[in-house]
Chains A and B, each alone.
Chain A
Amino acid sequence: MAIKIKFAHMADIHIGATSDPNMKGLELQTLEGAFNRCLREGVDFVIIAGDIFHVNIPDLEVVKGAVEIFKRFVDTGRKIYVVYGSHDFSPNTASIVDIIEAAGLVKRVGKPSAAGERLMPEVVKDERTGATLTGISGRRGLRERDAFEALDREGLSHLKGFRIFVFHTSLDEIKREDEKYDSMPLSLLPDGFDYYAGGHIHRIIDKVIDGKRVVYPGPLFTGWGGDLEDTVAGERRGFFVVEVGEGGGLGVEFIAMRPFEGELIRINADGRSASDVNSELAAVTRRHDLGGKVVVIKVCGELSSGKTSDVDFAAVRKGLADAGAIYVHLSRNQLRTKEFEAATIKGETNAQIEEGIFSEMSGAVKGTNERLTKSCTEVARLLLAQLRSQKLEGETQRDYDARMMAAAKTVLGIAEG
């Protein structure tokens, strides 16, 4: 196939998502590796379908690293086309995406280009290839749906050349049965595009549905939470390279990135004591094959005795760090203890239900802190109110954690130090 256009399609890079120095380094290394690969592949341009950064105003240190990588790429005469993602957009303040666009490093496609009830997103023509790009940026809570509904479909149907629609939105039709998140119907994507470059879904999808070639590369690098677990468990991460033939035929290849060696360790705590689980965790720290790896330890099940706080996660984290692990992620959300059996409470409002549960569980709180033992329900209610406080626009994870910790200590009456 004679190649007319070649481009790369990335999404959900989430630069700055992790605060761990080692992971930060890996994050930028992966980004650099991806762009170097793009150059080796000879792509004409790169599309990043949203969530380049994890927040709209990220840590400037990681921004600097990313800017250097982008600059090296655009200095070769190639372009990077982007849309906002749900993470790196803010309706109230500027986004780092706006700043790097102003610096000429990226070009945001799909800006509203006409007033009125219908939305005609700006269409960009790639000078190097003649490809036509437009799209719609993502927003939190699927607020971009309004833009899709207002699209001037008639206007978009007249576009010429190889047409790419870039978006950062999940689609109903490709949701897995176990996935529950906001999504919109495929029918809201405008008809007639040759390639629908998607972002927001953190897995690889390449499907033709009702005549639309819808592609999601998933994240390039995953440094946190469930995504990290999946990556360590073997889920592929990377980006697509797309070749468009003279006749319009598409060749779509996934380029897998392997940012780190990982190890997923599952520990079933069901029916075991906290000290049993500690013994098994200690054995993990003595393993010699975990050096240089990202280690995810997933502990789940119901302890037969002891509290979840009796499981010494700090020790295992330290032990593995001493053993040379690059990063340790502890997943303990599914660890439960019998001492806190499930309480079934009925109530008309969330507040009533919460109050009921706190009251039901208050008897299980023991200790010498009178504030906790005597006013347990009130303290729990205040603590929950504090924990509901969301991260502020532009607030880093570290600042957020510190603010939450201080508020929690105040509520619990625990002195600083």
Chain B
Amino acid sequence: MAELGSNTKEAVGQIVEGSNECLVMREKKGVDLELGDLIAVDSGNKKFITMVSALEYGSNIDVERIYRSAGTELEKQHYDVAFLDPDINLFRKVLTKILLEVKVEGGKLKARSPRSIPEFMSKARMVDEGDFSFLETPEDKITIGKLRSGSKRLKCDYCMDGSKMLSHHVLISAQTGRGKSNLVKVMLWEAMKHERFGVLVLDVHNEYHGSGNQAGLKDHPKARDRLVYYSKDPPPGQRALKINLRSIDPQDIVGVLNLSEAQSEAAYLFRNKFGRDWIKGIMGNGDDKVSPSTLRALRRKFENLFRMVEQADGSYSCNSDVFSMEAVGESTVRDMADDLEKGKVVLIDGSSISDDTGLVIMSAILEDVFRRYEGYKTRGELDVVPQLAVVLEEAPRVLAEGTTSNIFSRIAREGRKFKIGLVAITQLVSVIPIDILANIGTKIIMGNEMAFERQKLIDSAAQDLSAYGQIIAGLDKGESIVSSIFSQFPVPVYTPLFDEVVRDEKELGGTGYQERRTTKFY
């Protein structure tokens, strides 16, 4: 991707018509503007930041004559077709949408939503970094990437206030191959720079941690203190994903597996009767209040989920690599919740476990932290604990209509009050209920060619994105539009490749890279 050139004071066009909805400018010959390019229009003591939303042809020549000339040339009847002063008479019309109105106040640039339009015939130019000096760098910044003008990257980071962004939920929407995973990885890398964000991630493709020479979060200079990685097959120093069945509660299962009402009731009944050994109870005992068919169905589901195997004596053993009925993994859920509370990224390798297993584990952890954070809120201590977030891939699985009884949808609806946010990742926004979409404060929209999905995004965005349909469809890998209640305009961003981020920080000697521990062994 080319860096934006330094000759940005040169005019690229001039405003010739339009309205506050859409400005029309004549493009200077050879400039070759693209959809999504950001154009600055200086006008008196103000400046307007606009975005190219459509491109059209224009001419001062009679249309019939143009068609006739094209025919003559195509049919090879005359080879010297030329118009008088073509640079003057033939041109492109560039339709732009005003994003921001900027003016100097107290020696500083201040931006606000547009309430006016530039003076007629104002000159337009490409934006440069200085045009965005009104953007402030928050203390809890999470860098999403570089500001972008069309496909050109500006030398200006776009950062968001991590606490605000995560507490009000984030949606990352894109089709496959548009850079979702890279973006999440970069955001997690950023989150690990602080001790203020506890982020729970079920990494379904095991692509965030990294292994061997493959860069990942393990390469973060603070990884030792701020990253905890759980896997069925952990590298040395990381934890085995072992969950004791005593850590699982009925609500962790009811919200994930497709349990009938009778089965759910039976699960809660056994929980009341056997306490934390309720799963053992279901696999081992009957109960007069539960019909044998309900119990059989429940056992069958548990056999599959927990890899329960019936022994010769009728008892069950747990053959799962993850779940255990023995005295193993009793503190795992609590430890994960503790680490989240300490502002760490807790990464679970979900690549070798089933979706259901992953979601049940996530649910158990989130139920635990939710209870804790409810307590902090009651006691007025919420200010001093880290902001939490859960990264949820294939979010519609647990957020779609009819899945209201699980912890994920509860977080989506109520989490903000308890400082727990959701980072929902999906290709299919349309199946997420509108009330949840409306609750999501930041939408990071990456390339998506499905018009129906785009429209859902546009309809639920924090800003008016009605002019962005085609732009969203044409976003390249790594490019996104960030529409947030915390930004004054839909921000075009390019997220660099994760490997570049790691390399750049190493070259800059980021905090921690020089740290070498000198340890004496005994």
Greatest chain A CB density within 10 A among B244, B331, B522 is at B522
Interface stretch (choices A184-192, A218-226, A228-236, A353-361): A184-192
Q: Does A179 contact B331, Cβ atoms closer than 8 Å?
A: yes
Given the contacts A146-B517, A176-B331, A177-B331, A112 and B242 also touching, CB distance less than 8 Å? no
Q: How many residues of B contact A (CB 8 A)?
A: 25
Given the contacts A172-B331, A177-B330, A185 and B517 also touching, CB distance less than 8 Å? no
**87-134 of chain A: CB within 8 A of chain B:** 89, 91, 111-112, 119
Per-position contact with B for A143-176: 1 when CB-CB < 8 Å, else 0? 0001111110100000000000000000011111
Q: Does A187 contact B237, Cβ atoms closer than 8 Å?
A: yes
Per-position contact with A for B497-522: 1 when CB-CB < 8 Å, else 0? 00000000000000000000101111
Residues from chain B with Cβ under 8 Å of A377 in the complex: none
Q: Interface size bucket, A side?
A: 20 to 34
Does chain B have a CB within 8 A of A370? no
Q: Does A185 contact B237, Cβ atoms closer than 8 Å?
A: yes
Majority secondary structure of chain A interface residues (helix, strand, loop or mixed) = mixed
Shortest CB distance B520–A (Å): 7
Given the contacts A89-B522, A150-B519, A209 and B236 also touching, CB distance less than 8 Å? no
Q: Does A185 contact B239, Cβ atoms closer than 8 Å?
A: yes
Given the contacts A89-B522, A91-B520, A187 and B236 also touching, CB distance less than 8 Å? yes
Given the contacts A175-B331, A179-B331, A205-B327, A186 and B240 also touching, CB distance less than 8 Å? yes
Given the contacts A174-B327, A176-B330, A149 and B522 also touching, CB distance less than 8 Å? no
Q: Does A175 contact B237, Cβ atoms closer than 8 Å?
A: no
Residues from chain A with Cβ under 8 Å of B242 in the complex: 173, 209
Does chain B have a CB within 8 A of A137? yes
Does chain A have a CB within 8 A of B332? yes
Chain B residue at smallest Cβ distance from A176: B330
Residues from chain B with Cβ under 8 Å of A148 in the complex: 236-237
Does chain A have a CB within 8 A of B71? no
Provide 7 A-B residue pairs closer than 8 Å at the C-beta atoms, listed in order of the A residue. A112-B521, A146-B517, A172-B332, A175-B330, A177-B244, A185-B240, A209-B328
In whole angstroms, what is the CA distance A186 to B328 when docked?
Answer: 11
Residues from chain A with Cβ under 8 Å of B330 in the complex: 175-177
Does chain B have a CB within 8 A of A84? yes
Chain A residue at smallest Cβ distance from B242: A173
Does chain B have a CB within 8 A of A72? no
A: which residues have CB within 8 A of B?
84, 89, 91, 111-112, 119, 137, 139, 146-151, 153, 172-177, 179, 185-188, 205, 207, 209-210
Chain A residue at smallest Cβ distance from B333: A177
Shortest CB distance B230–A (Å): 9
Q: Does A173 contact B237, Cβ atoms closer than 8 Å?
A: no
Given the contacts A91-B520, A209-B242, A187 and B235 also touching, CB distance less than 8 Å? yes
Given the contacts A137-B522, A147-B521, A177-B331, A172 and B239 also touching, CB distance less than 8 Å? yes
Residues from chain A with Cβ under 8 Å of B238 in the complex: 185, 187
Residues from chain A with Cβ under 8 Å of B17 in the complex: none
In whole angstroms, what is the CA distance A111 to B521 when docked?
Answer: 8
Which listed residue, B240, B246, B332, B520, touches A187 by the CB 8 Å rule?
A: B240
Excluding A146-B517, A146-B519, A173-B329, 12 further A-B contacts by CB distance (< 8 Å) are A84-B522, A139-B522, A148-B237, A173-B332, A174-B327, A176-B331, A185-B234, A185-B237, A185-B240, A187-B235, A187-B240, A207-B328
